Structure 1
Amino acid sequence: MPYPRKRVWIIGCVIFVACVALAGGGVAYTSSTDFCLSCHEMRVYQEEMRFSSHAKDAQGQAIGCRQCHIPSGNIARMLGAKAWLGIRDVWVHSVDGGDDLNRAAMQPVARRFTDDANCRACHQNLTKNAKNDGPVSEEGRLAHENYEGKNGQSRSGCVGCHRNLAHLPVFDERIPANHTFAQKIKEIRP
């Protein structure tokens, strides 16, 4: 009896397609804001986001966690970030209890995994201000030209300069640039 090679290939292909579909579904599900907020320690970020300038996009739709925090540039970087951040979040939630988040230690990691491509998806014209109703400041124009390599080369990405746009830890409320955001957010702080 000859070896059923064709059947093995068909079964192998079906199993492969099923695994890819399950992995894709898992990545999509774990990238949803609902999944992120299923951990109680993440709800503070949702509350802060509600008062930020990044609560909604230009079309008035709520901005979800993945739009900023999951790299969209390439699949390897996206999967690497999901794995690293996911393991850290599970550790904080399961082992540390998630009650006392060290946000100062978390900020550099979160910024490292916030790709410029995510910011540029909404902010394409760097000569306009955030509301798109006028030019950026002279300082902003020079910084953006540097970022684009027009007058030097920047080593900093978008979140290197633009900090605390969607979330504002208590220790950053004192920074003058955060004053308006801090005033809005006072109603949720104890």
Structure 2
Amino acid sequence: MSKPTASSKRFSMIALGLLFLAGIGFVWGVDFAIKTTNTTEFCTSCHTMKTNFAEYQESLHYKNTSGVQATCADCHVPKKLGPKLVTKIVAAKDVYHELMGTIDTPEKFEARRWHLANMVWKRMEASDSRECRSCHDFANMDLSEQTRSARSRHSAAEDKGQTCIECHKGVAHTEPTEPEATETVTSDAS
């Protein structure tokens, strides 16, 4: 076995250094992309999200007595990296459908709203309303400060292991009306 030459060692070190720098650049790029796409400005830059943004502005998640505001990402994007990346990849379909004209007008969006909302609700139920619970947790609720009805429902929901979204579907956006059974919903904006 021959000994590595000085020039081959130097080449290996340069290659390793370039690979290291490329890795840093990749991580920085992914971090920049995630932070940029997590802003409310980015989320509402598509024409179809203007309706959702107007609804959100009328909700307690936007403006309330405490001054605490939940952004689009707080409710729709997981905090942990793995689920966050999956969510970003899945959300790319919304950009695709905006560009392809499937949901690019308020009328087209409204026609798809029930289907789109159900996809979000199913994801939230599957994650046990993970994003809701990053701010709202049964253990941190002061039930004595809630109305009798809310206190009773939250206590029962905790006992049954229910997720937040099972009861709170129209919190920050208008809850869509289920289409008539005779209407067919195509899956072109899935």
Q: Same fold (TM over 0.5)?
A: yes
1:170–1:16: structure 2 CA closer, same or farther, 3 Å change rule?
A: closer
CA distance in 2, matches of 1:166, 1:144: 22
For 1:35, the aligned partner's letter is: F
SS in 2 for 1:19: helix
d(CA) in 1 for partners of 2:20 and 2:64?
41
**Alignment correspondent of 1:44:** 51
- TM superposition outliers: structure 1 runs of 4+ over 6 Å: none
1:181: which partner in 2?
none
Conservation of the 8 A alpha-carbon contact between 1:92 and 1:98: yes
Gaps of 5+ in 2: 179-190
1:108 corresponds in structure 2 to 118
- C-alpha deviation, 1:109, in angstroms: 1.1
The alignment covers a number of residue pairs equal to 160
Could you tell me which of 119, 132, 142 is aligned with 1:128?
142
Within 5 A, what are the aligned runs for 1:1-190?
A: 2-3=7-8, 4-56=11-63, 59-72=66-79, 74-87=80-93, 89-95=94-100, 96=102, 98-99=104-105, 100-101=108-109, 102-114=112-124, 115=127, 116-125=129-138, 127-128=141-142, 133-134=145-146, 136-147=150-161, 154=162, 157-169=163-175, 171=177
* Identity across the alignment (%): 21
* TM-score normalised over the length of structure 2: 0.74
Q: Is the 8 A contact 1:70 1:113 kept in 2?
A: no
C-alpha distance in 2 between matches for 1:134 and 1:56 = 19
- State whether residues 40 and 73 of structure 2, in contact with CA within 8 Å, keep that contact through their aligned partners in structure 1: yes
Q: For residues 110 and 160 of structure 1, do their structure 2 counterparts lie closer, same or farther at Cα, with a shift above 3 Å needed? A: same
1:138 deviates by 1.7
**Letter matched to residue 152 of structure 2:** E
1:58 Cα deviation after fit? 7.3
| Per-residue deviation, 1:140 | 2.6
Shift of residue 82, structure 1, vs aligned partner:
1.1
What RMSD, in angstroms, separates the aligned Cα atoms of the two structures?
A: 2.3
List per-residue Cα deviations over 1:128-183 (Å, max 9, x = no partner): 35xx8336332331112221xxxxxx4xx2212211000004637xxxxxxxxxxx
Go from structure 1 to structure 2 and tell me whether the alpha carbon gap of 1:23 and 1:123 turns closer, same or farther (over 3 Å shift): same
2:157 & 2:84 partners in 1: Cα distance? 27
Which protein is bigger by CA-based radius of gyration? 2
Q: Secondary structure at the match of 1:16?
A: helix
In structure 1, the partner of 2:187 is none
**In structure 2, what residue type is equivalent to 1:54?**
H
TM-score by length of 1: 0.74
